[in-house]
Structure 1
Amino acid sequence: MINADLNSSNFNSYASIDDLEHFANARDISLPDNKESLLIKAMDYLNGLNWAGKKAKQSQTLPFPRKNIVLDGYLLPSNEIPTPLITAQCMLAIEAISDDLLPSVREAPVKSESIAGALTVAYAVDESGFKPQYTAVMSILGDLVVSSGFSINCIAERS
């Protein structure tokens, strides 16, 4: 059962069924009957992200609420769930209607190899083996999420 009450001991979802229904209705999206499982699948995805700040309480089971997060230049209160997070969960729940949000990630098997002067390797690309990326969701989450990638800083000068 979905419980979006932050003050409840069995709090397990940032978005409620009502939040999901309002989100879908505003976008003319039909929802199936299994709304709870869609929200749980979305939570599974969200739980795997690298969040900014720290949990508000060490004992809490979900990543939010959090402390030490600055959102749009303002310190986010550590006793609330930010609206972009609720929106992101609803977006992911909609994606979960037709897609597996957490597929197993496998490397593509080698389809063929040849060594005749130069090395050629062809991979059998199977879309089911790659983890999907939800750029719209990540864009909405913005500063709530810390990048899990890397960056390189450099300076290029013309002489």
Structure 2
Amino acid sequence: MALIIEDGTGKPDADSYSTAAELVSYAARYGVTIPAGEPAQEALLRRAALAMDGMNWKGCRAKGDQALAWPRRGVNIDGENKPSDYIPARIQYGQMALAGEIHTDDIDPIETRKGAVIRERVEGAVDTQYATITNTSRRLLPAAPDRPSRTQFADYLQKRGLFAIRA
């Protein structure tokens, strides 16, 4: 089933901001690993769009019945109010980056991941020890906040960067 691309009109059945062809082009330019087949690429874009819906974006949806989080109204970036039919290119690039991150998480089993370096000893041969990643659910860990998609989305999220919560 072909993707229904959001074009800024607030489609009630849209399921992506980018096409599979755009994802292939993005992956080639940035060295991102993605599945070979178009159906798998489209599924990956749908998963990325669903993950994006859970993010806390600036403004509010332009239409109550639109399927995706964008377009939005009430978005002010660098002192400029964006129109309610505007979908920033960084939202599209961010979706493609997130799709690549999701695919990497899919193909990288938890058993092969390494934690932070907790000891490194140099005397002749290098001896490096990694922290154990504790994950009792056996599910993959979520994408790290320093991944490219978060960089693309930074200006459009309610909160960007690090912030402290006082307990």
Amino acid at match of 1:3: I
Corresponding residue for 2:13? Answer: 10
The normalised TM-score by structure 2 is 0.66
1:51–1:146 CA contact under 8 A, matched in 2: yes
Residues 64-117 of structure 1: per-residue CA shift (max 9 Å, x gap):
1001111233211110211110011000111122215xxxxxxxxxxxxxxxxx
Shift of 1:10: 2.4
Corresponding residue for 2:99? Answer: 93
Corresponding residue for 2:144? Answer: 133
Equivalents in 2 of 1:130, 1:97: separation in Å?
Answer: 13
Q: Which is higher, the Rg of structure 1 or of structure 2?
A: 1
- Structure 2 residue matching 1:99: 3-state secondary structure: helix
Matches within 5 A, 1:24-103: 24-32=27-35, 33=37, 34-100=40-106
1:42–1:89 CA contact under 8 A, matched in 2: yes
Amino acid at match of 1:125: T
> Are residues 10 and 59 of structure 1, via their aligned partners in 2, closer, same or farther at CA, if it must alter by over 3 Å?
closer
Corresponding residue for 1:146? Answer: 158
Matches within 5 A, 1:96-115: 96-100=102-106
Equivalents in 1 of 2:103, 2:150: separation in Å?
Answer: 19
Equivalents in 2 of 1:141, 1:63: separation in Å?
Answer: 12
Shift of 1:131: 3.1
2:58–2:158 CA contact under 8 A, matched in 1: yes
Percent identity between matched residues is: 26
Moved more, 3-12 or 133-142: 3-12
The normalised TM-score by structure 1 is 0.69
Q: Unmatched 5+ residue regions in structure 1?
A: 101-122, 154-159
Shift of 1:53: 0.3
Equivalents in 2 of 1:72, 1:21: separation in Å?
Answer: 31
1:70–1:143 CA contact under 8 A, matched in 2: no
Corresponding residue for 1:117? Answer: none
Shift of 1:2: 1.2
Give runs of ≥4 in structure 1 deviating > 6 Å: none
